[in-house]
């Protein structure tokens, strides 16, 4: 598949996760939904791992045990416990936020994650970030905010309680991304994802039992399974595989830049599904798109001068 098409599909799937996550509020509590998503993804990945081991006949059982020993060493355990803990916090924050805000609001705030990641990496990892690159990220966030303001209709813009919650959740996600960059270099992509799902499930188990309202989950409702399976398969496992492919083909900067288009796709879906097309034909929306396009260009130019390391 063409890398640009792959990037387009990845952005669409990420955008759909905000809409579908909003639907899940009707069937389960935020904590129960996050727990379901992690556990189901873990079960699917466990099955894939066993199949992978069976197909890899060139690797002896002794080598496989040695790899597992390294994977579950004390150092990796606490590192991935923090990595998965941050991701768990993000998902819980997302679902809790959607109880008092909209998918469009969360999709716009999500575009702050790349800028947060750049700042965390600069102060924690000591990575350099050119002013042009930072300006590109800031401009991308500005464009996303303009898209949000332009699609509010005639009513005044309202900052919801859920927006504060998701802003904090976005900081956790930015930390998650940077910590994977710092601690996950020696672990394969699939193995790293498996550890994240494993420790994430362990984090969520006591939380779900105490505060997840599991007895109120609409297990017998078709909508619960339809939305839950979509979130697990397409916006967790499938997007992860696409992301690993894109890192090697187009580079990390272009993936971060593509995340700025997510509010546009969400706005398009909401406008078309509610038959309010006129929300997309105004000066604010057009100005937001221009800012996003310029931001994509600036970040892409920076990426041209920084080849992807490690594949």
DSSP symbols for 195-212? HHHHHHHHHHHHHHHHHS
CA distance 269 to 273: 6
Q: What is the DSSP letter of 277?
A: G
CA distance 285 to 166: 23
CA distance 95 to 288: 27
CA distance 4 to 261: 13
**CA distances, 267 to each of 131, 164, 250, 276 (Å):** 30, 20, 26, 10
Per DSSP, the three-state class of 180 is helix
CA distance 109 to 253: 19
CA distance 184 to 25: 33
Check residue 48 and give its pLDDT. 86
Say if CB 230 and CB 222 are below 8 A apart.
Answer: no
Say if CB 27 and CB 221 are below 8 A apart.
Answer: yes
Say if CB 108 and CB 263 are below 8 A apart.
Answer: yes
- Dihedrals φ, ψ of 292, to 5°? -65, -40
> Which helix or strand (DSSP H or E) is residue 175 part of?
helix 161-183
Per DSSP, the three-state class of 165 is helix
The DSSP secondary structure of 91-156, one letter per residue, reads: HHHHHHHTTSS-HHHHHHHHTTHHHHHHHHIIIII-----HHHHHHHHHHHHHHHHHHHHTSTTSP
Give which of 206, 195, 173, 198 is closest to 40, Cα–Cα: 198
Q: Copy the structure tokens of residue 229.
A: 């399976």
CA distance 240 to 246: 10
Q: Copy the structure tokens of residue 279.
A: 């929300």
CA 125 and chain centroid, separation: 21
User: What are the strands, taking DSSP E only, across the chain?
Assistant: none
CA 71 and chain centroid, separation: 24
Burial class for 80, CB neighbours closer than 10 Å (0-12, 13-18, 19+): buried
Q: What is the pLDDT along the chain (311 residues), one digit of tens a residue?
A: 677 788 888 888 988 887 888 888 889 988 898 899 889 989 998 888 888 777 776 556 666 666 666 667 778 888 989 989 998 898 889 888 888 888 778 877 887 888 888 788 888 877 666 788 788 888 988 887 888 777 765 556 678 889 999 999 999 988 887 887 788 777 777 787 888 889 999 999 999 999 889 999 999 999 999 999 999 998 888 887 777 677 667 766 677 778 888 878 887 887 777 776 776 777 888 898 899 889 888 877 755 544 333 32
Q: What is the DSSP letter of 307?
A: P
CA distance 300 to 311: 18
């Amino acid at each position: 598949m063409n890398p640009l098409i792959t990037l387009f599909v990845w952005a669409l799937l990420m955008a759909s996760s905000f809409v579908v996550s909003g639907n899940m509020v009707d069937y389960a509590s935020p904590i129960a939904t996050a727990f379901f998503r992690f556990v189901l993804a873990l079960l699917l990945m466990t099955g894939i791992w066993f199949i992978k081991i069976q197909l890899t006949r060139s690797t002896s059982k002794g080598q496989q045990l040695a790899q597992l020993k390294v994977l579950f060493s004390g150092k990796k355990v606490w590192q991935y416990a923090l990595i998965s803990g941050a991701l768990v916090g993000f998902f819980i924050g997302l679902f809790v936020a959607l109880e008092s805000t909209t998918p469009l609001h969360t999709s716009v705030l999500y575009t702050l994650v790349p800028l947060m990641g750049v700042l965390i990496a600069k102060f924690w990892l000591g990575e350099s970030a050119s002013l042009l690159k930072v300006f590109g990220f800031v401009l991308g966030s500005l464009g996303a905010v303009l898209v949000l303001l332009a699609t509010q209709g005639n009513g005044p813009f309202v900052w919801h309680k859920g927006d504060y919650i998701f802003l904090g959740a976005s900081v956790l996600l930015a930390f998650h991304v940077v910590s994977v960059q710092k601690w996950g270099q020696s672990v394969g992509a699939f193995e790293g994802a498996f550890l994240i799902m494993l420790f994430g499930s362990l984090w969520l188990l006591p939380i779900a039992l105490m505060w997840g309202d599991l007895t109120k989950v609409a297990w017998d409702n078709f909508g619960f399974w339809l939305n839950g399976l979509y979130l697990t398969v397409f916006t967790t496992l499938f997007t992860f595989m696409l992301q690993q492919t894109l890192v090697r083909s187009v580079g990390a900067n272009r993936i971060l830049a593509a995340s700025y288009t997510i509010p546009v796709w969400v706005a398009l879906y909401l406008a078309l599904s509610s038959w309010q097309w006129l929300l997309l034909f105004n000066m604010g929306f057009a100005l937001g798109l221009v800012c996003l396009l310029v931001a994509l260009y600036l970040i892409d130019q920076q990426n041209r001068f920084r080849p992807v390391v490690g594949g």
